[in-house]
Structure 1
Amino acid sequence: MPSYPYHQVRFMNSKLKGSINMEEFINENIPEFRAKAWSMVNPFLFNGHLQTMFAGIRRFRNVDVLYFARQIMYADDGGCVALDRVVSKKTFDGVDTSKIVVPENQPEEIDNFIRYMSPKEIADQGSTDSNAIVIALTGLSGSSAESYIRCLFSKLSENPDFDLYVMNSRGCGNVKITTPRLFCALWTEDIRGVIKFFKKKYPNRKIYLFGISLGSIVMSNYLAQEGENSNVTLAIALASIWDLRGSSYFLENGFISSLFYSTAMTFPLMMLLKSHSDELLVNPIFKSQYTNQIIRKIWKLKKFDDIFTSKMFGFTCADDYYTQASPIYKVQQIRTPFVNISSLDDPITGGLQVGALPLDQAKYNPYMTMINTSLGGHVGYFKWNNTRWYAEPLARLITGFHENIVSPSGYEVQVDEKNLPKPVLINGQLPVLHKSK
């Protein structure tokens, strides 16, 4: 972890003797995340490219098996996402499927490990208990089936104090879209709506967010937009892409990155467009772009974002979209305790090679804690036995934070107001200190 010139926020409760900040909490409880800690990785996956490729090629379907009950959530614009809640196999199998009502326009069959919530399960929501809610925001075109989520949730599911959810973005995870557009890194309305839903149903519960890759960008943008009103107790980002322009340059110009990753990330997006083309063609902008002549030329992620993502959300081009959606320019607006885990050899985010990590900015925001590893790739982190390194310590961090800091009565977050970053610009300009006569 980098050193901080200013004190981090401090946490107090009736159980602690005095107060503690995140860096102290990690040093006392999570040795894997301490500065200069080391771990044994798979010796055959000795760099970021190998770690990343292994994560994409290896099948983990029978590892960390979880069962989910799905609820379709509708946003104000009519679009929908799927909230998949982790349930026990007994609960999964204990529902009479003939009584389950399939949401309108959604597929009857989802996955062998996912079913829709029963009417009773939906009606029974709403509680005043102290269980924490953990929401995972997936990577690009990801879903609750992703092994990088299941490895963490399988450990957290052993603790009855947590209710675990995965938010499947529009069109992902067998979710049929209901409006003529998908998602982007700056579209925060869906996670905002989900958090409002939970705060209404469970006003006394704490909410933890876990964002991975694209999901961490959406999470960071949401937290920056909401400031002190995020209703999130702790946010954790893994393999976050802080600077989309820097990442794009690294992704499109690196030999291996350009040849493999950019194409591999674009293919499932093109499949999403194809599977939802009937709904998307209602959008005149999409209709004008979705022609055989154009789509045959799309093999790289930036080209996809230039032609589809940016235009769908009103940006002029991919660079315009990347600039506006990059959380690196909004770090100082985050007012939620935030732990970021990044690998410096991540071939997709770009790491230090293109200055894509906000290391200096984070030092001046007392809410931020940066954990940087030398190896791990993009959502890899495979140890010698091919389990993911971050799953166990991250589960202990969330559990320990909830049980020892948040749960006891009198929980407080203290911050020295003098050390909070102050906005310099006024209406996008530097202030005039004096006028010449």
Structure 2
Amino acid sequence: MAVIPSDYSPPLLFRNGHVSTVYYGLFRKIDDFDQERERLELADGDFMDLDWSYADKTSGKVVILLHGLEGHGQRPYITGSAKHLNQAGYDCCAVNFRGCSGESNRLYRSYHSGATEDLDAVVKHILGSKAYSELYIKGISLGGNMVLKYAGEGRELPPSLKAIMAVSAPVDLYSSLKALMGWKNIPYARRFRKHLVAKLKAKQPQFPELLPDHEIQKIKTLKDFDDIYTSRAHGFTDALDYYARCSSLQFLHNIKIKTLIINARNDSFLGPECYPYKQAEANENIYLEVPDYGGHVGFYDAQNIAYTEKRALKFFEQIYVEPNFLS
């Protein structure tokens, strides 16, 4: 529908993209917050763990929260969002993707940015087992790409799904990969690689023939990881095939529910193709906001509530107020 203006203006220190990214990634704390874990058994014999938090009063509203690469349901960008939404009357289900809840998953495969079958399983489980009349989904980073792909793939969406939101979403995975492999992102890329390789080594006792030492030793970059593991484990030809097939950019034209995308202009993880201006202007259901600041999932704001957390609540509360509900 539109590229909407942004009035996000953090304190001077947090106008630096790396400062905001690192602060919210490593130093932010969410206190006085509890979650209850539920294990979701999947049809293929694997599992995902769901971390629930609840509003004080039943409202019939629930938000599914999706984390980013090597994240989990206790990351502050997840728990901060859940706490803010709980206080406004929404229950929250923080999804831990396969292998991300502190326990290795059972299968050789794990999770990836386009694994919308897992999101679909969560949606069906929640709506099939709990009495919610309104469902919302908020995806962050990798989870943002996933929810956009989920909404635009052409599946029949449940009537109770009212809106989705994506924050710091790498809608073009190859563009994001190239950005992450740039010199200014070397510390982040090394950190991601370290965690990903550690997970493969933890899987080796289960799958020694599929994960021999000499293959793991070849992983020097994030693209190597996707060539050697992600593509092979999930049915893609190679990393480039994975990026091409799982980028949500190609599905945005087909989204038929209200959608808010917030990608900061100074997000060093996102390449130029990750700002879908044309798609937002062409689809009446998509609102794209590109603040000057925020880094990658680092939208610092007052009272330890991120700007995007406040934005999510406003979006979910006001989606039926037209035409300028986000202004």
> TM (normalized to structure 2)?
0.89
Partner in structure 2 of residue 138 of structure 1: 67
Measured in 1, the distance between the counterparts of 2:132 and 2:179 equals 43
Q: CA deviation at 1:276?
A: 3.2
Instruction: Give the counterpart letter for 1:217 in structure 2.
Output: N
Mapped contact 2:165–2:312 kept (Cα < 8 A): no
Measured in 1, the distance between the counterparts of 2:70 and 2:158 equals 25
Matched, 1:207 2:174: no
Measured in 2, the distance between the counterparts of 1:181 and 1:296 equals 19
Matched, 1:195 2:123: yes
Mapped contact 1:86–1:165 kept (Cα < 8 A): yes
Moved over 6 A (4+): none
Measured in 1, the distance between the counterparts of 2:141 and 2:31 equals 20
Q: Percent identity?
A: 27
- Within 5 Å, which residues of 2 pair with 1:70-149? 70-87=37-54, 131-149=60-78
User: SS where residue 298 of structure 1 aligns?
Assistant: coil
Partner in structure 2 of residue 265 of structure 1: 192
User: SS where residue 142 of structure 1 aligns?
Assistant: coil
The one-character-per-residue Cα deviations of 1:94-131 (angstroms, maximum 9, x if unpaired) are: xxxxxxxxxxxxxxxxxxxxxxxxxxxxxxxxxxx751
Measured in 2, the distance between the counterparts of 1:299 and 1:56 equals 23
Partner in structure 2 of residue 338 of structure 1: 259
Measured in 2, the distance between the counterparts of 1:166 and 1:204 equals 16
Partner in structure 2 of residue 47 of structure 1: 16
Instruction: Give the counterpart letter for 1:372 in structure 2.
Output: V
Q: Which moved more, 1:290-299 or 1:229-238?
A: 290-299
Measured in 2, the distance between the counterparts of 1:134 and 1:56 equals 22
Larger Rg: 1
Q: CA deviation at 1:399?
A: 3.5
Partner in structure 1 of residue 325 of structure 2: none
Partner in structure 2 of residue 68 of structure 1: 35
Measured in 1, the distance between the counterparts of 2:68 and 2:44 equals 23
Q: CA deviation at 1:72?
A: 0.7
Mapped contact 1:227–1:333 kept (Cα < 8 A): no
Task: Give ranges in structure 1 of 5+ residues lacking alignment.
Answer: 4-33, 92-128, 407-412, 414-437
Partner in structure 2 of residue 391 of structure 1: 309
Partner in structure 2 of residue 154 of structure 1: 83
Partner in structure 1 of residue 170 of structure 2: 241
Measured in 2, the distance between the counterparts of 1:255 and 1:295 equals 23
Q: CA deviation at 1:180?
A: 2.1
1:294–1:374 distance in 2 versus 1, CA, 3 Å: same
1:358–1:38 distance in 2 versus 1, CA, 3 Å: closer
Instruction: Give the counterpart letter for 2:280 in structure 1.
Output: A
Task: Give ranges in structure 2 of 5+ residues lacking alignment.
Answer: 323-327
Q: CA deviation at 1:234?
A: 0.6
| Superposed CA RMSD | 2.6
Matched, 1:323 2:323: no
1:306–1:207 distance in 2 versus 1, CA, 3 Å: same
User: SS where residue 66 of structure 1 aligns?
Assistant: coil
Mapped contact 1:328–1:357 kept (Cα < 8 A): no
User: SS where residue 14 of structure 2 aligns?
Assistant: coil
1:36–1:314 distance in 2 versus 1, CA, 3 Å: closer
Instruction: Give the counterpart letter for 1:52 in structure 2.
Output: T
1:336–1:228 distance in 2 versus 1, CA, 3 Å: farther
Q: CA deviation at 1:246?
A: 1.0
1:189–1:360 distance in 2 versus 1, CA, 3 Å: same
Partner in structure 2 of residue 433 of structure 1: none
Measured in 1, the distance between the counterparts of 2:6 and 2:199 equals 42
Instruction: Give the counterpart letter for 1:138 in structure 2.
Output: H
- Within 5 Å, which residues of 2 pair with 1:213-362? 213-231=141-159, 232-252=161-181, 254-257=182-185, 259-279=186-206, 281=207, 287-288=209-210, 290-350=211-271, 354-362=272-280
Matched, 1:367 2:288: no
Instruction: Give the counterpart letter for 1:389 in structure 2.
Output: Y
Q: CA deviation at 1:217?
A: 1.4
1:360–1:296 distance in 2 versus 1, CA, 3 Å: same
Q: CA deviation at 1:227?
A: 4.7
Instruction: Give the counterpart letter for 2:23 in structure 1.
Output: F
Instruction: Give the counterpart letter for 2:263 in structure 1.
Output: S
Instruction: Give the counterpart letter for 1:221 in structure 2.
Output: K
Q: CA deviation at 1:265?
A: 1.5
Measured in 2, the distance between the counterparts of 1:244 and 1:140 equals 12
User: SS where residue 330 of structure 1 aligns?
Assistant: helix
> TM (normalized to structure 1)?
0.68
Q: CA deviation at 1:149?
A: 1.4
User: SS where residue 198 of structure 2 aligns?
Assistant: helix
Measured in 1, the distance between the counterparts of 2:90 and 2:303 equals 27
Instruction: Give the counterpart letter for 1:84 in structure 2.
Output: D
User: SS where residue 390 of structure 1 aligns?
Assistant: helix
Measured in 2, the distance between the counterparts of 1:130 and 1:306 equals 45
